[in-house]
Chain A
Amino acid sequence: MLALARQTVRSSWRGYLGAFVALLFGVVLIAVTTTLIGSVDATSNLPGVTADQRTQLDDLAAMFGMMSAVSAFMALFVVGSTFGFVVASRRRELGLLRLVGATPRQVRRLLLGESTVVAAAATTVGCLLGTMLAPAVLDLVRTIGITTLHLEAPSPWIAWVVAAPAGAVVALLGVWRSARRASRITPSAALREAAVERTRPSIVQLAVAIVCFGGLVTAIVLAADLPPLFALVASILLPEVVVIGLLSIGPAVIPRLAALLARPFVDRDVAARLARDEVRGAVRTTAAVAAPVMAISAIAGSLLLSLSFTADWTTAQDRSRLRAPLVVEAGSPGATAAVAADPTVAVADVRRQVTLQRDEDGRPGSPDEVEIVDLATASTARSLTATRGSIDDLRGPSVAVTTTWVTDAGIGLGGTVAFWIDGDRVPLRVVAVVPDAPDLYGELLIPAGLVPPTTDGPVFVVPHGDASATRDSLRRTLAGTDSRILDASAWIDATAAQTRQANNVGFTVLLGPAGLYAAIAIVNATLIGASQRRRQRELVQLLGASPDQVRRAAIWQAGLVCGTALLLGGATTAVLGWLVRRAITADLAAVPMTIPWLPLLAIGVVCLLLTVSATAAGLSSRK
């Protein structure tokens, strides 16, 4: 069967080009990600890397891991849908094979053999390309400011060992369903010009859809009880679940929705009518072109919206807690002391942090940022109060923790957290749970005196009288120290802007490769779809359609399919955005809402442009 597979791949390489490109890109991506994770690991083991830098590297590795998971998801279903296309376009040929005596198993093996040929080629080229690209990507990571460290490239075989089998597994999983479907093609398929495409989902597909949407409904029901950060994590994972659900019933839903979208136009333009009928008839093509658009718009949209809402939430937390009207960002070590000594200043509450190692099985483990608070000043300037327990008990070997930390770590009021301080294991009792305010204090707060602070942050200043008089006085006191004196509100705005900028970097890293993948997939699916419609197009032309009408119909079709996919992706984004918003407002009432319209619209416009231009390219290349 492998010899036959080689021959069929050689002759129908156009169909496989898409699968090859999709897989090649997947393998390159996995190879590059592995290199990145490997280099983070290699770098963090170098001597001279501080605990802070190690934390930064750990975060980086986690981010890369998440990126590769999202990318692998995209890879899997793009390869799957491309192979699905190949099978759908070869119904007659496969039916013929059955007619001349191939058993269903032989047809399945043929398809698996073909995918092996394509996977072998794509994996080899992909691994080589990944190795060549790795140094450039490591440079890029530094250039866009994800890390300040120089990342050491690990040995290339690590990437190969991971990427090559991953590519093979993705190809096999991707083709599995198509191969099963192909093996069910009857010999009489060889006798039909075109099969009526099945729109009704199978029992399995229906079950998958029910499970996926069940998960979404559960999340919606629980929305108000979810901690905001959990809602954020859910908004990263749930779009994938929703997309799988939508895709499994895609052929039943997407063409109908697209036809509905076309309704206002069909009476005005015959090209729109042609496009509507084609979208409804060729359900598989419609679903396959819609899939990558829907996936990327749902995943990227939800993440954008959730990150923005989470930033809104932190800002609102900051605003509701910060009582000090002035914030000083001290420019020199002496400046902090000078602020406290200023006669117009009633309270100078300094944000102080230290990195401590958590106890892990009796040994110093992962480092944690711990906030050192002076109760007297912090409760005035940062309204530090407990929601459970009593903040006044924060004396001696004790710790206060935030609500999110409690959910995250599973240790609540009365529990114990042990740290290593000066070579000793020191157990601290959780005496209070405080609300989250990430820019005002960290997740773990200990009283002053347990450990000397290592870093001084901003100083929250409460004046004796008028804030403007204090500002003037401080300006004089701090002249020449390179310090900044800000109104509380301006400081919060600046902090929020920083958070959003960091979010953008994170977003780019998380979804950049997946976005590129989706772009390739969109172009790929559109081009294959266009080549499959060639006969239909020629027939329409034969019946008297002008070249302009044919072109317009194709562009209408692209627009309708892409529009439908964006609508579904948008709906997913809206639902998940609402989920995060609900979790946030349950926690805090007056949270402003920032919807990142520009990036959201940009996603839609880019998808639409890609689909339409790929359609135009498909038309012009086959004139």
Chain B
Amino acid sequence: MTALRLALLELRRFRGRPLRCVVLGLVVAVPILVGGLALWSQWDPYGSTERIPVALVDRDTGAVVEGRHIDAGAELAGQLQAGDAFDWHPVTETEAIRGVTEGDYAFAVVVPADFSRALAGSERPHVTVRRDDSNGYLSGVIADTAALDLRQQIDTAVYVTAAKAAVGDLTRLDTGVEQAAHAAGDLTDDARNTADQADRLHTGLTDLELAAQRLSEDVADLRGDIRPAESTLAGRWPAIQSDSRAAAELTDGFAGRLSDIHGLLCDGDTGDACRDLDAAVADARAIDDGVTTLDEDIQSLSPGGGGVTDGRIDDLVAESQRLTGDTAAARTGAERLAEATDDFASESGGLADTLTGTARSLPAMDPARNAAIADLLGSPVDVRNVNAHPADVYGRGMAPLWFGIALWLFATAGYLVLRSCNPRALAGRTRTATIALAGWLPSLPLAVAAVAILYAAAGLGLGLDAVDPVATVAVALSGAAVFTAVGQLLRLVWGGMGGVAMLVLLTVQVPASGGAYPIQTSPAFFQALHPLMPMTYLVDALRITVTGGEPRRLWQAVLVLAVFGVAALLASTLVTAYRRRWTVARLHPVTLP
């Protein structure tokens, strides 16, 4: 309670004079000034490379291969300018050198005069990237990052040029293959229709077979009771005759149609599809013949007309049985036919697909398509990235580190303005722990305001879009509280020089926290410091709350952070106890003006 009231008194020191309020306001604004501005300025540098001016020099004079002129340089230039990796400026080499030297261009890509010749001569052609790190080292690093893309563009150009040199006018070939693919597609449709018809034929024949069977049974019954049967048969006969006629016409038409397809497609061709088709045509002919014979039989028979004798009936029975057998044979044939045409249809469908694929894989006028093919050819293995918790943009990935830096500087600035402890309490009778606590508590309301402003700016202004906003704010707040406890401790120990110590700690902590580059890439010094620095744990915890991650790791980080805070407060208490007696050095502190 005493600690709270003393903390309140500490803050009340800043009332009254406007300038003193402004100072306190500046402390609160430190995080947004540091973290907010830094994050804003580099929120998405890799997403804005298309604004980086880059010179493009094409000195390629081309080459003649087997009578054909090729120009890989022009191809490359076109390819690069079609993409939006950079803001390309096609210029002369002199201008490019001048521009790079004077900083007008971040770097220049120079295609040498013998680029096409080297390519035609099966040498390894080269492209020069002229950089000048006085234009900013990182624009070069971005160039390196984009070099993969650049390489792919170069690969594409080389591939297209080489293909042109090998096959000549690709556009025509491309068009031809596309037409062939279309034709094959049409053929497939035809074959599908045919297969449908064969199916229908099969169904028709099945019906016919059933009718013939019934007929044969009826005829057999005639032996017993000829009259009624005769009249029944006579009644049914015209229907049977017309069914049979229709079947004969169907098979005839089908066989003719199939034969036409065969003639169209397989003129002297001996491919698998054609052989199948051949067999199908033969089948269709055989069926047609069978059905036609059957039909003729049926048409010639005339059960009506009276005067039917036993012998005639016997004939009729035999005839009808033969009819049943023939129809069954025809049905089986039709079944086979249906399968064959179906097979053909799927095969010609495959052909159509292959042709379409070929047409697509041929170099064309579309740079994006060419790039995709070159990529496929150049990197046969695709690396698939599975990112459990993607940060998406640079700024979002760097936010935890910048939050850490911002809050550390907040703590530093805070204890340049706030007193580490109340001197009258120190000389008075207040308990030591209370004094230490009362020195730390005034920083908390400032931390709440500072974190709120920082998070509002990052969340609403920049689109931080934290996975867990509440946890992010809570973690940032605990980070600020721990950092201010450290700031208070250093101010207690070194007085005014405590701020300097905080800055030194910051410079050590930032590389040691592993917030930018993986800690494994840092020298052993920083790796040794990595687990000993509070910022490490703040960055770890914020990463999980901002981009997501294992909650167990979050709790671990927060716990370690809390241990740092408690340790700092305990140390502050011990230092406060020691400082209840002054020394000459403290009465006459040696500080810079």
Are A and B a genuine interacting pair, yes or no? no
Show the binding face of A for B, using Cβ within 8 Å: none
